[in-house]
Each structure stands twice: as structure tokens, then as C-alpha cells.
Amino acid sequence: MTGIEITRRPARRSLLVSAVAGSVATTAAALGSPAGAMLCLAGIAVLVAGVATARHGLVDGGGLVAFLGVVFAATEGATAGPVVFGTAATVVAWDAGGNAVSLGRQLGNRVDSLRVEFLHAVAGAVVGLTTALVGLVLFRLGPTRQPVTTLFVLLLAAVLLVVALNR
Amino acid sequence: MSDGDRSDEPDGGDPESGRRPERSDGGADLEAAASGSDATASADESTAGESPESGAVSGGAATDVAAGRSAADEESEIDEGSAAGEAGATTVREMHLVSTNHWVGVATVSFLTAGLGVVLRSRPLFLAAVVGVGYLAYANATEAPEPSISVTRSVADPDPEPGDRVRVTVTVTNTGDEVLSDLRIVEQVPDAIAVVDGPARTATALRPGASVTFAYTVLARRGRFTFEGIDVIARNVSGSRERVLDLATAETTITCLPGLDATDTVPLQGLTSPYTGRVSTDSAGEGVEFASLREYHHGDALSRLDWNRYARDGELATMEFREERMATVVVLVELRRAAYLQVGEDGPHVADRSIDATRRLFNSLIATGDRVGVAALAPDDVWLAPGAGPTHQAEARRLLATHPALSPTPPSGRLYVPGYLKTLLSRLDDDAQIVFVSPVPDITSAYIARALHVRDHPVTVVSPDPTRTDTPGRTLAAAERSNRLASLRRAGIRVVDWEGDERLAEALERARRRWSA
């Protein structure tokens, strides 16, 4: 008559968000190059496996590989739209995966955490989509004469600002 | 019934998943009710009316409690009906703020991407880096919220029988004005009781005023258990920071008293009090069992004259019988740290068996009319002076079930044995005998038994056997214990060796046969 054990890994349903976001990323990469899509798919597979076994390392590694797939597609000549949305989808997949693993480790797989996970994923997706849209609009309407180096310096400044604000 | 269904399914969360969105909707209904929507309010009332008083089992009733509190004017009678004095206020015992390191690395990846974009003159890559910077800002923009929550806990049965399954329903309400976007709640179930169904934890998001209810089932066992806290982890929406809180809640107690079941008659030794009882003594007088004949003295009762002898040779003689007297017994249960032994990985705890045996012995001795007391060989003082009668029995029942020293967890302190013996001896009546319930885990137990025995308090050792013989080490431990028991027997102490799969009555009967032979 012993009590139930807590299985410290995410519930099966938690795989869903990562898998859906991951397939969006793969589709986006496929618009650029099939090889990039394959890389992306492999990364997502590792990521989902990481969620299933509650291993942060696998989730992070898989997310990075999936993103490399998107980057590869970009170098192969993918247009801005698929690359930007692919990036956002990859981040959402990785973010949702990491969140699911932390939930699984803290609460076990018998807790119904779908609501929290869904909320988290939606918030992440909204941020990604907004940034992507703003970026794209600026990309289309903005002064295209600027060399990329100038933009890079601006981006550097933005990052430093974000970091400095949080010190 | 739903318990059975749930435990059968490996994916046990399903029935709850169907309910949980309803609960959040319930929160929405609640707001509507507060703003005066008649339809919603009446629907709420009808639900509450259908739920029986003990309906906390369903989990729905507890939600109504929270609803009742917020919209108190509309459902005040429900509030009084089922809240039953449980204030929901919580106090923070411990809080710390930590970084989850969830977004660490995003900055690096964004930079590398941007750099690659510059090198390759690729604007799409550059835009991808912009997305990364957006996430970086998102991760750092918010801080983990400081949750202000109330917790209401109700148990289906605060006084269960041992082995009963008790449904515990917990309702957590966001009483602050911040949205708690990621709230992870872990109930602090008392150490000694097992959760047998439903996780005692949940994860949810709560708007101000909204509440979540979760329920789980524990298996009641002897003792008093207090639910008094809850662990909460509140994350910000991006999951970059989390606040870990240990909250003290209102106390909810389960008190589980075992029944009055006794064992067979306990064989006692010949030390007795002057009062009439059931232990046959060597002194002759009034009784049942024939002892001797003696010359008639003036004033002897006519019923005790040996009329056969008078008829034979005309001499008057008086028959004497063994006097049956009452015994004073102190049941001493060994609860030193060394006595907390477990049989195998999953077997019963031998301390639990000892306490159970103490209870049965006590009830049996009380039933046979002896004066019985209880003492525990434990760091904490446990002493119930010998007595008789129903009040005494009730007192002992409560003590054996709920005294903290008799809890199923081993004591932290150490016992100074000579000091304890001195105290015990000063408390014992001169005519008290000892029933020592102990697994005899080491030489100290044997020493205690002998020390009491030589000070004219005859000792009967009832020894639950915690040993096994499946490995050489365990066989050695079993042999050592058996040697200790043998040395006790040599010292004239009666020993009842109570094996693991044996009933106490059988062990006593086996020992009695050996002693009378």
C-alpha cells in the first residue's frame, strides 16, 4: 500500500506544442532549401526527444540544430519571410520544450499543465511574430541604401541597451 | 468510484483535464454573478444545492466555497455550509527569487547570426537576429510576480479509520491584483502519509480573483496529521525568473484512531495486586481452582467446608482455593531510533507493528480486568499510569494514536538509558509487571529488560521479528537477535518471538504452550 510515485518528466501532451511549432519551422526552412529543412527536422526530432525524456541539454541542442537549419536555408537563398518566421517558430518550439521540461521536473507527468504551457507558448509566439513583422516592414519600407554593417552596429547598440537596462 | 477509474488509467489526469477549463470558466461566471447576472447566479446556486454536504469529494463544492467568498452576499449560506472555519489566508514562511537561466544563450546566438548576416551580406539572416533581440527584450522585460493567494483546504473525512482513502481538496485563489501567468503549486503532504491517487500538485494561470481547485487522495494511517503548508512557484510570462515560496496555510488535521480490537488473553506472571482479578496466584484463599485443605477455623464459610471428609471421619476441614488476583501491567514499547527497522524494501515498519501490538495488548489486558499503563522507551516522555475503565481506555487509545513520539517517523533525539530506567522505576508501582514490546534490535534492549526484571518487575518480552534470512548479512543479524532472546530466556524472562507473518494471538498462544510445558 505505498503511494504513487512522481514521474519527473513532462506529460505526453506537452510534446504537442513543440512538435507543432517545430513543423512550422521545418516548413519555413523547406521554402529555402531541402537540406536546411532536413537539418531543421533533425533538430526538432532531438528537441522533442529531449522533452519526452526531460533533458534540458537535448532540448537546447535540438533547438540550436533546428535554428542552424533555418540559417542554412537562408544562406541557400531563402527569402526574408520564411527565414524570419522560421526563426520565430524555432524559438517557440525550443521555449515551449524547455518550459515543458521544467514543468515536468517540478510537478511530474500527472499534472494537467496544458493551460500554462499553451499560455506560455502563445506569449512567445506573439513576441516572435510581432518582432518578425516589425522587422519585415522596416526591411521593406526602410532605407535600403544603408549598408548591413551600419545595421549591425545599430543592433549591437540595441542589445547593449537591453542588457544595460537589466543590470 | 471515480477513484477506481482514475487509478486504473495510466494517463490519470484525463477526468481532471475535462474539469479544469470549467473551473476557470467558473471564475468567469463568478465575475458575471458578482456584477448581477441572474441567470449565472441561479445556475451556481442550483449546482451548490445539488452537491451533498460531504460533497467536497467532487471538488466542485470547494470551488463553490471560493465563489461564495468572493460573491459573499449572494451565496452566504453556502459559504457557511461548507467552508467550516477554514480561513484561506496564507503567510510567507520563506521566499526567494531565482533566475531560471531559460533564455541564456539567446543573446549569443542572435549575435552570431547577425555577424553571419554581415559576413554573408544576407538581410534575411540579419532580420532573424532582430527576432532574437526581440526575444531577449521579452525575456528581460518582466520580473516574477509576487503572488498573493489564499488557500482553502478541505478533507472529506477528518476522522477516518486506518486504511480509509481520504479525499483532500485544495482551492487556491489569486487575491492580489497581478495576473499570475505561470503558477506551480505543490501541496505539502505530511511525510508519513502516502498519496494514493491524483497528484497533490497543479499548474495553472490565475487572473486576479480567479481560483483553481485540485484534489488528491491520501491513505489514512494511525496518527494525527496536519496539512499546514503549500509550495508555490510563480514565474513571469517569459519564464526567465521565478519566485519560490513556502506558504503557511490554515491547518487542516486528519486524526486517525485505530479501533478497540484486542488480542487473545495475555499470559501474565505471578506478581499481582491485592485485588481480585484473573491471575491465579500461589496464595490460597477464595477462588476457583483447588489449592489445599486445612483445619477448620471458627468462622470459615460453610460453603468452603469439605463435607465429604466430614461424612467420612467426622472432622471439619476447610478447602482453600488459589486466589485470583488483579495484575498491574505496564506495556513498555521500544521506540528508540534503533527500533525503527523495516522488513525488506516495502515491508511493514517494525515500530508500527510494535505500536499496534501495544494497542492490542492494552485492550486485551483492560478487557480481562487488569490495571494497565503505557510507557514508551523513546526520547520524548510517554507515560500513562496504570488504570482501568473506559475513560482510561479512551485516553490510551488517543495517546497511542496521536502522541508525536509514537509517529511513524523515527525520533531525532537520543535516549539516555540509565536516566530513563531511573524515571521508569520511580513511576512503577511495587507490584507492576512489564510487558516489553521490542524487536530487541541491540544489546541495550536486552539490558533494559534484564534491569527491570532483576528489580522485581517481572518482564515478558513481546518481540516482533524484523529479521530476514535472504542474505548472509541478514542471516547474521537474525542469529544475533536470536542469541539476545536466548540470553533473556536464560535470565528467566519470558519471551514471545512474534514472527513477521504471524498473528499476535498465535505468537502468544505458541509461547503460552511452551511456558506451561
The verdict on B197 and B116 lying in the same domain is: no
Domain assignment present for residue B26? The answer is no
A1 near B CB under 8 A: yes
Do B133 and A159 make contact, defined as CB atoms within 8 angstroms?
yes
Identify the segments of chain A with pLDDT beneath 50. 1
CB atoms inside a 10 Å sphere around CB B25? 10
If one counts the domains in chain A, the total is 1
What is the grid cell recorded at B66? 471560493
pLDDT of B307 > 50? The answer is yes
CA dist A20 and A25 (Å) reads: 9
Answer with the residue of higher pLDDT: B208 or B46. Answer: B208
- Domain assignment of residue A166, yes or no: no
B151 falls in which pLDDT band (50, 70, 90)?
very high
pLDDT digits over B420-466, tens only? 999 999 999 888 899 999 999 999 999 999 999 999 899 999 999 88
- Does residue B392 lie within any of the structural domains? yes
Using CB atoms, which residue from A74, A102, A110 is nearest to B199? Answer: A110
Sign of the CA dihedral running B291, B292, B296, B298: negative
Contact B450, B488 (CB under 8 A): yes
* B residues 345-384 closer than 8 Å to A (CB): 346
Instruction: Report the sign of the C-alpha dihedral through residues B421, B222, B404, B478, in that order.
Output: positive
Q: Which residues contact B93 (CB under 8 A, 6 or more apart)?
A: B229, B246, B247, B248
In a domain, B165, yes or no: yes
Evaluate whether A144 touches B123 at the Cβ level (below 8 Å): no
**Residue B94 and residue B182 share a domain:** yes
Whether B117 and B218 map to the same domain: the answer is: no
Interface of A with B in 61-90 (CB under 8 A): 64, 67, 70-71, 74-75, 78-80, 83-84, 86-88
- Are B318 and B389 contained in the same domain? no
Put simply, the answer to whether B123 touches A139 (Cβ < 8 Å) is yes
In a domain, A130, yes or no: yes
Q: Cell triple for residue B424?
A: 521508569
- Judge whether B123 is closer than 8 Å to chain A, CB to CB: yes
Contact A110 B197 (CB under 8 A): no
Instruction: Please state, in angstroms and rounded to a whole number, the distance separating the CA atoms of residues B439 and B498.
Output: 9
Residue B443: give its domain's CATH number. 3.40.50
- Structural domain boundaries enclosing A67: 14-142
Number of domains in chain B: 4
Instruction: Answer yes or no: are the C-beta atoms of A11 and A111 closer than 8 Å.
Output: yes
A94 occurs within a structural domain: yes
Q: Rounded CA gap, B204 and B210, in Å?
A: 11
Collect all residues of chain B within an 8 Å Cβ-Cβ radius of residue A139: 123, 127
| Same domain? B189 vs B131 | no
The predicted model gives B225-237 an average pLDDT of: 91
- What kind and span of H or E run contains B8? helix B2-8
C-alpha torsion sign, points A147, A149, A152, A154: negative
Q: B 176-205 residues with CB below 8 A of A? A: 181-184, 186, 194-199, 201-205
Residue B213: pLDDT band (50, 70, 90) is very high
Mean predicted confidence (pLDDT) in B35-45: 36
Which CATH number do you get for residue B228? 2.60.40.10
Query: A148 near A48, Cβ under 8 Å?
Result: no
B106 CB within 8 Å of a chain A CB: yes
Q: Which of A136-140, B40-44, B179-183 has the highest mean pLDDT?
A: B179-183
Report pLDDT digits (tens) over B310-348.
898 888 888 887 777 788 899 999 988 888 887 766 666
Residue of A nearest to B180 (CA): A116
- B239 to chain A, any CB pair closer than 8 A? The answer is yes
ipTM: 0.89
Range with lowest mean pLDDT among B67-71, B184-188, B388-392, B414-418: B67-71
Shared domain for B169 and B288, answered yes or no, is: no
In A20-59, the residues whose Cβ lies within 8 Å of chain B are none
Whether residues B110 and B174 share a domain: the answer is no
Q: Please say whether the beta carbons of A15 and A48 come within 8 A.
A: yes
Residue B13 lies in a domain: no
C-beta separation of B393 from B347 below 8 A: no
Neighbours of B394 (CB within 10 A): 12
Do residues B86 and B155 make contact, with C-beta atoms less than 8 angstroms apart? no
Tell me how far CA of residue B380 lies from CA of B106, B278, B336, B392, in angstroms. 56, 33, 10, 21
Q: Shortest CA distance to B115 belongs to which of A62, A155, A35, A133?
A: A155
Are B404 and B311 members of one domain? no
Contact partners, residue B483, CB within 8 Å, separation at least 6: none
C-alpha B200/C-alpha B93 separation (Å) is: 20
Residues whose CB is less than 8 angstroms from the CB of residue B154 and which lie 6 or more positions away in sequence, other chains included: B56, B61, B62, B65, B82, B84, B86, B168, B169, B252
Segments of B188-326 assigned E as strands: 194-197, 201-206, 211-219, 223-235, 241-256, 276-295, 317-325
Is the Cα dihedral B4, B10, B14, B20 positive or negative? Answer: positive
pLDDT tens-digit series, residues B72-100: 333 333 333 333 334 578 888 889 898 88
Kindly state whether residues B161 and B221 are assigned to the same domain. Answer: yes
Interface of A with B in 118-147 (CB under 8 A): 119-120, 123-124, 127-128, 130-132, 134-136, 139
> Is pLDDT of B59 > 80?
no
Residue span of the structural domain in which B479 resides? 328-516
Among A residues 85-114, those touching chain B with beta carbons less than 8 Å apart: 86-88, 91, 95, 98-99, 102-103, 106-108, 110-114
Nearest by CB: B199 against A60, A108, A165: A108
- Side by side, which strands form the sheet with B241-256? B91-99, B241-256, B223-235, B180-187, B201-206
**Is residue A160 included in any domain, yes or no?**
no
Does one domain contain both B494 and B397? Answer: yes
Residue A25 phi, psi dihedral angles, 5° rounding = -60, -45
Chain B residue with Cα closest to A129: B131
Within an 8 Å CB–CB cutoff, is residue B133 touching chain A? yes
Q: Are B385 and B379 in contact (CB under 8 A)?
A: no
Mean of the per-residue pLDDT values for chain B? 78
Residue A45: per-residue pLDDT: 94
| DSSP three-state, residue B289 | strand
What is the C-alpha separation between A159 and A9, in angstroms, rounded?
Answer: 34
Nearest CB to B124 within list A6, A74, A113:
A74
- Nearest one of A50, A32, A158 to A94, comparing CA atoms: A50
Q: Residue B194 — very low, low, confident or very high, per pLDDT cuts 50/70/90?
A: confident
Q: In which band, very low, low, confident or very high, does the pLDDT at B509 lie, cut at 50, 70 and 90?
A: confident
In a domain, B192, yes or no: yes
Query: Which residues fall within 8 angstroms of residue B172, CB to CB, at 6 or more apart?
Result: B149, B150, B151, B183, B185, B202, B206, B211, B212, B213, B230
| Residues B251, B362 share a domain | no
Asked whether the beta carbons of B385 and B427 are under 8 A apart, the reply is: yes
**Cα–Cα dist A136/A152, whole Å:** 16
Parallel, antiparallel, or unpaired for β B201-206 and B149-155? unpaired
Q: Residues B84, B134: one domain?
A: no
